[in-house]
């Protein structure tokens, strides 16, 4: 079939097929426009770094630190600082919308919140933001990165060599973060939209349509998830200027309100906060710390999104963000103190929202509009962090391989369609089930306290092994202890909605734990053959003309990285049922590197011209265009004389007349009923295969969907229980 020469009409058909299909081909260029721009940026940074080395000795410690920062990969620019505002600070930026209102509700309304309570609450908020967000996360955690990437999984990747037990806090923390990523969009957007109800002109409309708030929030949530495919760089530039206006707005309105009651500045003394927490005037008890925690819910997202915008951008923007938040909280506290003398609020006994109430009706309209936009930004911060977390979990083999897109040029930007759809569906479910931000608040924040506790544990381990044991002890005494206190306080929300968060966390944790366990069992089962054990029978099949040709080229996609031996799964697939005779068998594995734009491959032919072992190394920003890359490899081997000439007589989809038809094969494993495996292991494998069935096979990840690949199922050859012999009867 492949050796018969083609006539002119055949050649014309092949050329026409090439014009018709426009199948993707590998370019002659070794770098894309994006990569060339990144290379120029890197060269420019190196030149600037050389110029700055001479000035490193001058300017004092701060000047030297700033020059080092500007000469590295975390160089600060105005554009990236604006992107950081739009991507990173959304969650923590919306906390003033509900923190002080939740405080008033916990105290039983304005009638039960005196000036001492307000000063105490403000003191707890200020020092919690200082200790946890500024010191722990910005100054300590952000110095612990994995090639610029932040988050609990990046932290675990640095530390897993120090103990197998570290997988527990990493998995638990990552699962809790993903659970919180579901609640944050619902909480932030619904609380902002509910501000519309405070506008006098719209009160009649909302009274007549009680579900209107939920409907508006639902539309906004769907729109946020719909634009994720455009990339967080584009979204960040749009949101960045808006969030700058938002923080300026809350800073100015807070400062204006605080000017009438400067006594709230006493809250800078931590003694007032501690005294109020343990006093009888605190009607919420220890649960008050759960309310205080709402003021720092965006700290973990800030750490996880570090890879999206760079550490330097967060360093230069956080002081402004911190000041704006403090002014807003203190302004709300000043309004509450003034309101203590207002008989209308005292008689009502309710918990008005101080954020909107402290403004005049004219200013309040602008506040509602900006708060809705800020709620969208808060959702963006957690969604971006969720993409990063899932991508890192996939590299750790804790989740199935999902299709990943890189829609932006900025480092760390990614988009995972499956995760986006799941998050969208789950967020809509939360909104419809709970119905209001007040009810969502009962579940909000509990999962994130778990993530922060686990992050604190891992940072302690890092400091112990990498930095200083004294620093590790001091860190462990201060920060994990505070986070455990927050967790205990947040557990007061369990029966009021926290159960939903923990159930969601347990579901995600089950996915990661069982996928990891199932992968380890499969790898333990994997067996290899030496080339001299399998080459003779492969040569016999290759030369046996009595067996029909299955395909010119058979390509097996595998996760096995061994280049010197043959995976027995591939060997027995070739001979299963009916021998798969081919002119060439290809065993291909794909390795994702830490460098962004790697495109390399290695080939082992075992001294044959019909069996090739290929390992393709692709950067984490390079698309998985495996069919196009394989055609390039085959053409390279043809030019080198290592692959015999192949010619196609008839048109085919890939429109490559020099390469014969290719059949792609993926092998999936299934557990045998007789397998001798623990109940835990069997359950892990069954759940893994069920997840794979729902999430889809790696076909899209390899870019094989248009080529109709074959998926085979082979039994998982774990140790098996031998049944007794049968008894022959007449």
Please report whether residue 5 resides in a domain: no
Q: Which whole number is the average pLDDT over 416-442?
A: 83
The angle formed by the CA atoms of residues 448, 295 and 337, to the nearest 5 degrees, is: 150
Indicate whether 589 and 619 sit together in one domain.
Answer: yes
Percent share of the chain, pLDDT over 70: 81
Q: Which whole number is the average pLDDT over 422-438?
A: 85
Closest by CA position to 579, among listed 613, 550, 622, 536:
550
Could you give the CA distance from residue 341 to residue 17 in angstroms, rounded to a whole number? Answer: 83
Please report whether residue 210 resides in a domain: yes
Indicate whether 143 and 262 sit together in one domain.
Answer: yes
At 435-460, the pLDDT tens digits run 777 777 767 777 788 888 898 899 89
Could you give the CA distance from residue 311 to residue 691 in angstroms, rounded to a whole number? Answer: 35
At 243-257, the pLDDT tens digits run 888 899 999 999 999
- Residue that wins the pLDDT comparison between 120 and 386: 120
Indicate whether 454 and 503 sit together in one domain.
Answer: yes
Please report whether residue 729 resides in a domain: no
Residue that is written with structure tokens 């969009």 in the block: 185
pLDDT given at position 234: 55
Domain count, the chain: 2
Please report whether residue 621 resides in a domain: yes
DSSP code of residue 137: I
Q: Assign 70 a pLDDT band (cuts: 50, 70, 90).
A: low
At 529-583, the pLDDT tens digits run 898 888 999 999 999 988 998 888 999 988 888 888 898 889 988 987 789 999 9
DSSP code of residue 461: H
N- to C-terminal Cα separation, the chain: 54
- Residue that wins the pLDDT comparison between 300 and 424: 424
Residues linked to residue 593 through DSSP beta bridges, in sequence order: 619
The CA-atom distances, in angstroms, between 35 and each of 25, 29, 409 are 18, 11, 9
CB 665 within 8 A of CB 520: no
Indicate whether 607 and 632 sit together in one domain.
Answer: yes
Indicate whether 263 and 408 sit together in one domain.
Answer: yes
Indicate whether 258 and 192 sit together in one domain.
Answer: yes
Q: Report whether pLDDT(331) > 90.
A: yes
For the chain, how many helices (H) and strands (E)? 30, 8
Q: Assign 189 a pLDDT band (cuts: 50, 70, 90).
A: confident
Question: Minimum mean pLDDT among 142-156, 317-331, 451-465: which range?
Answer: 142-156
Please report whether residue 1 resides in a domain: no
Indicate whether 502 and 539 sit together in one domain.
Answer: no
Could you give the CA distance from residue 465 to residue 467 in angstroms, rounded to a whole number? Answer: 6
Indicate whether 511 and 539 sit together in one domain.
Answer: no
- Residue that wins the pLDDT comparison between 56 and 655: 655
Percent share of the chain, pLDDT over 90: 15
Q: Is 694 helix (H, G, I), strand (E, B) or coil?
A: helix
Indicate whether 465 and 394 sit together in one domain.
Answer: yes
At 114-143, the pLDDT tens digits run 888 899 999 999 999 999 999 988 888 888
The angle formed by the CA atoms of residues 123, 125 and 130, to the nearest 5 degrees, is: 95
Instruction: Domain of residue 125: give its range.
Output: 78-519
pLDDT given at position 127: 94
Structure tokens at 325: 């938040």
* pTM for this prediction: 0.76
Q: Report whether pLDDT(62) > 70.
A: no
Residue that is written with structure tokens 């302690």 in the block: 460
Q: Which whole number is the average pLDDT over 10-28?
A: 57
Residues 6 or more apart whose Cβ sits within 8 Å of residue 208 = none
Q: Assign 383 a pLDDT band (cuts: 50, 70, 90).
A: confident
Q: Which whole number is the average pLDDT over 325-351?
A: 76
Residues 6 or more apart whose Cβ sits within 8 Å of residue 41 = none
Please report whether residue 158 resides in a domain: yes
Q: Report whether pLDDT(410) > 50.
A: no
Residues linked to residue 551 through DSSP beta bridges, in sequence order: 582
pLDDT given at position 42: 54
User: How confident is the prediction for the chain on average, in pLDDT?
Assistant: 80
- Residue that wins the pLDDT comparison between 361 and 644: 644
Please report whether residue 278 resides in a domain: yes
Could you give the CA distance from residue 189 to residue 373 in angstroms, rounded to a whole number? Answer: 8
Q: Which whole number is the average pLDDT over 696-721?
A: 74
Q: Report whether pLDDT(16) > 80.
A: no
Could you give the CA distance from residue 549 to residue 137 in angstroms, rounded to a whole number? Answer: 61
Could you give the CA distance from residue 287 to residue 284 in angstroms, rounded to a whole number? Answer: 6
- Residue that wins the pLDDT comparison between 522 and 229: 522
* Residue 58 backbone dihedrals phi, psi, to 5 degrees: -100, 160
Q: Report whether pLDDT(615) > 80.
A: yes
Q: Report whether pLDDT(57) > 60.
A: no
DSSP code of residue 5: P
Domain boundary residue among 478, 495, 519?
Answer: 519
Indicate whether 369 and 415 sit together in one domain.
Answer: yes
Could you give the CA distance from residue 156 to residue 415 in angstroms, rounded to a whole number? Answer: 22
Closest by CA position to 624, among listed 522, 705, 710:
705
H-state helical runs in 77-114: 78-87, 90-93, 99-107
Please report whether residue 66 resides in a domain: no
Domain boundary residue among 519, 534, 569?
Answer: 519
Q: Assign 411 a pLDDT band (cuts: 50, 70, 90).
A: very low
Q: Which whole number is the average pLDDT over 598-609?
A: 90
Backbone angle region of 592, left / alpha / beta, with phi > 0 → left and psi within -120 to 50 → alpha: beta
- Residue that wins the pLDDT comparison between 537 and 692: 537
pLDDT given at position 711: 84
Indicate whether 583 and 706 sit together in one domain.
Answer: yes
Element (H, E) at 173: helix 167-193
Q: Assign 328 a pLDDT band (cuts: 50, 70, 90).
A: very high
Describe the chain by its helix, strand, coil percentages, rounded to 5.
65, 10, 25
Could you give the CA distance from residue 713 to residue 181 in angstroms, rounded to a whole number? Answer: 35
Q: Report whether pLDDT(703) > 60.
A: yes
Closest by CA position to 689, among listed 446, 522, 494, 477:
522
Question: What is the number of other CB atoms lying within 10 angstroms of the CB of residue 706?
Answer: 12
Indicate whether 131 and 259 sit together in one domain.
Answer: yes
Domain boundary residue among 519, 540, 575?
Answer: 519
Could you give the CA distance from residue 486 to residue 221 in angstroms, rounded to a whole number? Answer: 29
CB 326 within 8 A of CB 90: no
**CATH code, domain with 285:** 1.20.1740.10
Q: Which whole number is the average pLDDT over 397-406?
A: 78
pLDDT given at position 501: 83
Q: Report whether pLDDT(494) > 80.
A: no
Q: Assign 677 a pLDDT band (cuts: 50, 70, 90).
A: confident
Could you give the CA distance from residue 269 to residue 127 in angstroms, rounded to a whole number? Answer: 9
Q: Are strands 549-557 and 581-593 parallel, antiparallel or unpaired?
A: parallel
């Amino acid at each position: 079939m492949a050796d018969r020469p083609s006539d002119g009409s055949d050649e014309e058909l092949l050329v026409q097929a090439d014009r018709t299909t426009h199948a993707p081909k590998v370019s002659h260029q070794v770098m894309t426009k994006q990569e060339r721009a990144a290379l120029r940026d890197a060269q420019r940074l190196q030149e600037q770094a050389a110029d700055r080395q001479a000035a490193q000795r001058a300017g004092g410690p701060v000047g030297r630190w700033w020059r080092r920062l500007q000469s590295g990969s975390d160089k600060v620019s105005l554009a990236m600082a604006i992107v950081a505002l739009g991507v990173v600070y959304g969650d923590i930026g919306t906390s003033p919308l509900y923190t002080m209102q939740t405080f008033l509700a916990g105290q039983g309304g304005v009638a039960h919140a005196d000036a001492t309570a307000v000063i105490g609450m403000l003191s707890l908020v200020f020092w919690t933001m200082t200790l946890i967000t500024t010191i722990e996360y910005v100054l300590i955690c952000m110095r612990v990165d994995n090639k610029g990437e932040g988050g609990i999984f990046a932290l675990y990747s640095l530390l897993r060599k120090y103990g197998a037990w570290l997988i527990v806090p990493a998995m638990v923390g990552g699962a809790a973060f993903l659970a919180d990523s579901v609640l944050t969009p619902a909480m932030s957007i619904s609380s902002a939209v509910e501000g519309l109800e405070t506008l006098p002109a719209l009160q009649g409309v909302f009274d007549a349509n009680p579900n209107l708030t939920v409907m508006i929030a639902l539309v906004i949530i769907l729109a946020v998830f719909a634009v994720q495919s455009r990339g967080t760089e584009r979204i960040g530039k749009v949101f960045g200027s808006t969030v700058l206006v938002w923080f300026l707005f809350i800073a100015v309105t807070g400062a204006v309100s605080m000017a009438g009651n400067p006594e709230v500045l006493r809250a800078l003394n931590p003694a007032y906060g501690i005294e109020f927490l343990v006093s009888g005037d605190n009607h919420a008890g220890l649960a008050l710390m759960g309310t205080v925690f709402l003021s720092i819910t965006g700290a973990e997202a800030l750490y996880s999104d570090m890879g999206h915008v760079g550490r330097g951008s967060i360093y230069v923007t956080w002081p402004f963000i911190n000041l704006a938040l403090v002014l807003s909280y203190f302004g709300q506290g000043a309004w509450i103190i003034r309101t203590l003398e207002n008989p209308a609020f005292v008689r009502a006994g309710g918990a008005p929202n101080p954020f909107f109430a402290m403004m005049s009706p004219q200013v309040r309209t602008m506040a509602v509009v900006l708060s809705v936009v800020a709620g969208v930004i808060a959702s963006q911060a957690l969604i971006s962090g969720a993409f990063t977390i899932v991508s890192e979990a996939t590299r750790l083999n804790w989740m199935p391989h999902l299709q990943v897109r890189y829609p932006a040029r900025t480092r760390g930007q990614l988009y995972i369609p499956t995760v986006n759809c799941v998050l969208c569906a789950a967020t809509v479910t939360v909104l419809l089930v709970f119905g209001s931000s007040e009810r969502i608040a009962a579940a909000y924040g509990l999962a994130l306290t778990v993530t922060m506790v686990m992050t604190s544990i891992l940072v302690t381990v890092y400091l112990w092994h990498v930095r200083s044991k004294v620093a590790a002890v001091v860190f462990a005494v201060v920060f994990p202890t505070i986070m455990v206190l927050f967790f205990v306080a947040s557990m007061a929300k369990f029966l009021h909605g926290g159960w939903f968060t923990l159930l969601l966390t347990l579901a995600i944790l089950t996915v990661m734990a069982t996928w990891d366990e199932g992968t380890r069992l499969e790898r333990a089962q994997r067996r290899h053959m030496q080339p001299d054990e399998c080459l003779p029978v492969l040569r016999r099949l290759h030369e046996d003309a009595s067996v029909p040709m299955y395909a010119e080229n058979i390509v097996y996609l595998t996760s096995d990285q061994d280049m010197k031996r043959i995976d027995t799964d591939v060997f027995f697939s070739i001979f299963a049922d009916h021998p798969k005779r081919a002119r060439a068998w290809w065993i291909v594995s794909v390795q994702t590197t830490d460098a962004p734009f790697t495109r390399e491959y290695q080939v082992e032919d075992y001294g044959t011209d019909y069996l090739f072992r290929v390992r393709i190394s692709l950067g984490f920003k390079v698309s998985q265009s495996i069919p196009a890359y394989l055609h390039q490899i085959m053409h390279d081997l043809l030019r080198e004389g290592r692959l015999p000439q192949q010619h196609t007589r008839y048109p085919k989809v890939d429109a490559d007349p020099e390469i014969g038809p290719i059949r792609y094969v993926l092998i999936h494993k299934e557990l045998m009923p007789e397998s001798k495996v623990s109940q835990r292991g069997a359950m892990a494998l069954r759940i893994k295969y069920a997840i794979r069935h729902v999430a889809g096979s790696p076909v899209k990840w390899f870019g094989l969907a248009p080529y109709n690949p074959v998926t085979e199922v082979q039994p998982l050859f774990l140790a098996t229980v031998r049944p007794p012999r049968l008894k022959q009867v007449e």
